[in-house]
């Protein structure tokens, strides 16, 4: 969507509005654009292209956001800033004021309400006569925003740390219901802000499938990260090493502990787990290795399979110690993605079986876009200073 330039005099603008099919809607669109430009200039302390030593930020292009009003739906070109997020004040306020039908339907869709339940929901809000086909048509209008989010350029920002994890959903494909793997990739930028970088369905969890996802990210401009955190699925790990040569791979300690504890009798699990956790709470890698060695000596004969798995995967689970500047709890596991996955499942559980992978992607990506906006204006997940120190340490 090209940005409209309004450089004419106000009188000329009014005459131009009158000539439009919907003059009031066109004026509202113009006013929204002007309000955003004024607010962002105030936020960063400088007008567009203005040279100002007192400015506290820089513009970084635009992003498209759908905005539903009582007068109709418009697509705002919301200014982006290089450091920190920006959400227009009237977009935030409209959450309380706008109750248009499309917003209700979209909000219900994002919350995971299936199209079969939309009619009942609409009637409870005093809206009569909404059909399944109408609901489907409205939700399909989200596709353009979803596609823009999933294919956006990543070349202007570096993401030093990535998390990758797969979740499974029941999706109808080629007349059959499959447990389809969905790979979710998140990263933090140099300011420590989290972003959702990829949400990709895969028919099989193979090295090639994962490799294609990572190559797609690289084509969008993703640079090689310093650290990638995931579980130890062989296809995923092979694809990471193939696509991101030079990156360190951190095996998720939580998944690793589950793999180990699967070979410990139930009655001994709790005590063994408490000792096992101490390995990753050590002050450095050398101390962690000493603790693992002691555990192996104490339990090697009782739980040989558990100890074998521990010894084989230990080094991959200790890579986070090489970046001591970053918070160990946040880069030693995929817990951040696990929490996000739980939120996704709260919405997808309502639908049950998705009619196709497109409907799944539409629902989940729309939800993740909202999550990403919240992340952009919330506190950094990792501090910018710690990331800068870590990158110098890696270099």
Answer yes or no: is 29 within a domain.
yes
* C-alpha–C-alpha distance, residues 269 and 314, integer Å: 19
pLDDT digits (tens, 9 = 90+) for 309-346: 999 999 999 999 999 999 999 999 999 999 898 888 88
Lowest mean pLDDT among 240-249, 279-288, 383-392: 383-392
pLDDT of residue 120: 65
Question: Sorting pLDDT into bands at 50, 70 and 90, what band is 96?
Answer: very low
End-to-end Cα separation, the chain, in angstroms? 40
**Model confidence at 177: pLDDT above 80:** yes
Domain's final residue, options 309, 333, 357? 333
Mean pLDDT confidence for 178-203: 92
Within a domain: 109: no
Cα distances (angstroms) measured from residue 114 to each of 137, 138, 345, 349, 356: 14, 13, 14, 10, 13
Higher local confidence (pLDDT), 144 or 319? 319
Indicate whether 202 belongs to any domain: no
> Mean pLDDT throughout 19-42?
83
User: Does a structural domain hold residue 193?
Assistant: no
With bands split at pLDDT 50, 70 and 90, how would you rate the model's confidence at 102? low
Amino acid 97: pLDDT: 31
pLDDT score at 259: 95
Mean pLDDT of the chain: 83
Total structural domains in the chain? 2
- Which of 333, 357, 385 represents a domain boundary (last residue)? 333
pLDDT in tens, 32-54: 888 888 888 888 787 877 777 77
pLDDT at 31: 84
pLDDT confidence tier of residue 308, bands split at 50, 70 and 90: very high
Write the burial class of residue 106 (CB in 10 Å: 0-12 exposed, 13-18 middle, 19+ buried): buried
Mean pLDDT of 101-125: 60
Averaged pLDDT, 102-106: 55
309 within a domain of the structure (yes/no): yes
Percentage of the chain exceeding pLDDT 70: 82
Q: What pLDDT, on a 0 to 100 scale, did the predictor assign at position 312?
A: 96
Domain edge (last residue) among 71, 97, 123: 97
pLDDT in the model for residue 176: 86
Q: Is residue 80 part of a domain?
A: yes
Asked if residue 195 belongs to a domain, the reply is: no
What is the per-residue pLDDT for 345?
87
pLDDT digits (tens, 9 = 90+) for 226-275: 999 999 999 999 999 999 998 999 999 999 999 999 999 999 999 999 99
CA 133 to chain centre: 30
Highest mean pLDDT: which range of 17-21, 177-181, 259-263: 259-263
pLDDT value at residue 188: 94
Residue 94 binned pLDDT confidence (cut-offs 50, 70, 90): very low
In angstroms, rounded to a whole number, what is the distance separating the alpha carbons of residues 89 and 225? 34
240 located within any domain? no
Rounded to two decimals, the pTM is 0.69
Lowest average pLDDT, out of 271-285, 321-335, 374-388, goes to 374-388
pLDDT surpasses 70 at 306: yes
Question: Taking 50 as the threshold, does the pLDDT of residue 100 lie above it?
Answer: no
Residue 298 has pLDDT above 90, yes or no: yes
- Quote the domain boundaries for residue 327: 253-333
Reply yes or no on whether the pLDDT at 6 is more than 50.
no
């Amino acid at each position: 969507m090209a940005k409209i330039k309004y450089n004419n005099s106000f009188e000329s603008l009014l005459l131009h509005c009158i000539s439009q099919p919907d003059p009031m809607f066109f004026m509202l669109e113009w006013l929204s654009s002007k309000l955003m430009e004024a607010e962002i200039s105030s936020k960063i302390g400088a007008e567009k292209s203005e040279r100002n030593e007192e400015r506290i930020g820089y513009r970084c292009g635009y992003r498209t956001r759908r905005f539903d009003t009582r007068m109709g739906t418009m697509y705002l070109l919301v200014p982006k800033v290089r450091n920190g997020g920006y959400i227009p004040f009237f977009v935030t306020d409209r959450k309380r004021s706008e109750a248009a039908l499309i917003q209700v339907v979209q909000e219900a869709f994002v919350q995971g309400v299936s199209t079969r339940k939309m009619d009942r929901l609409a009637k409870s809000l005093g809206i009569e006569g909404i059909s399944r086909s109408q609901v489907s048509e409205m939700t399909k209008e989200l596709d353009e925003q979803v596609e823009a989010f999933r294919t956006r350029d990543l070349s202007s920002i570096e993401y030093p740390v990535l998390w990758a994890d797969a979740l499974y959903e029941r999706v109808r494909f080629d007349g059959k219901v499959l447990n389809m793997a969905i790979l979710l990739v998140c990263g933090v930028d140099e300011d420590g802000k989290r972003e959702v970088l990829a949400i990709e369905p895969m028919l099989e969890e193979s090295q090639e499938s994962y490799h294609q996802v990572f190559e797609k990210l690289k084509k969008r401009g993703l640079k090689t990260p310093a650290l990638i955190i995931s579980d130890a699925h062989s296809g995923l790990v092979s694809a990471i090493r193939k696509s991101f040569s030079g990156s360190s791979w951190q095996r998720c300690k939580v998944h690793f502990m589950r793999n180990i504890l699967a070979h410990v009798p139930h009655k001994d699990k709790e005590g063994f787990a408490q000792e096992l956790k101490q390995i990753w709470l050590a002050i450095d890698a050398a101390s962690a290795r000493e603790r693992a060695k002691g555990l192996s000596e104490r339990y090697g004969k009782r739980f040989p399979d558990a100890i074998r798995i521990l010894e084989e995967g230990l080094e991959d689970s200790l890579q986070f110690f090489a970046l001591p500047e970053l918070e160990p709890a946040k880069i030693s596991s995929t817990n951040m993605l696990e929490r996000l996955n739980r939120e996704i499942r709260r919405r997808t559980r309502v639908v049950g079986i998705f009619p196709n992978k497109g409907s799944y992607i539409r629902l989940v990506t729309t939800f993740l876009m909202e999550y990403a906006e919240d992340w952009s204006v919330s506190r950094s997940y990792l501090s910018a200073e710690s990331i800068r120190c870590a990158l110098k340490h890696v270099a």
